[in-house]
């Protein structure tokens, strides 16, 4: 994480009132926790947007009508693969291609 987003202080008096950090979620990537990851099978995709709607972590974006997975934040929960009626998303091991 870049230093500019750290809460820097010398004494407790320098700290803000609430434990707040500037823009932290933009730079603090949380996708490294995965063991499984979703993989798109775009030839099956009907562009229905169900995966986008169900993703609990806003990690599926719609780009040019098709889903795109933001692996910086996806936790690999598998809800998108479970909800897709057309098998256009499958879960694979994190290390597989």
Please give the residue ranges that form the binding site for another protein (CB under 8 A): 7, 9, 12, 15-26, 28
- Residue 30 or residue 82: which is nearer to another protein going by CB? 30
Whole-number minimum distance, CB 22 to another protein, in Å?
5
- Residue 4 or residue 43: which is nearer to another protein going by CB? 4
Tokens 């202080």 locate to 9
Whole-number minimum distance, CB 72 to another protein, in Å?
15
Cα–Cα distance for residue pair 83/51, rounded to 1 Å: 7
Cα–Cα distance for residue pair 7/4, rounded to 1 Å: 8
Q: How many residues does this entry show for the chain?
A: 97
């Amino acid at each position: 994480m870049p230093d500019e987003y750290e809460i820097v202080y010398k004494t407790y008096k320098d700290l803000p009132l609430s434990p707040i950090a500037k823009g932290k979620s933009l730079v603090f990537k949380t996708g490294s926790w995965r063991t499984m990851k979703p993989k798109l099978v775009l030839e099956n995709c009907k562009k229905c947007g169900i995966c986008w709607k169900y993703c609990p972590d806003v990690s599926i974006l719609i780009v040019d009508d098709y889903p795109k997975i933001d692996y910086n934040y996806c936790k690999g929960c598998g809800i998108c693969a479970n909800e897709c009626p057309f098998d256009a998303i499958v879960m694979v091991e994190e290390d597989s291609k």
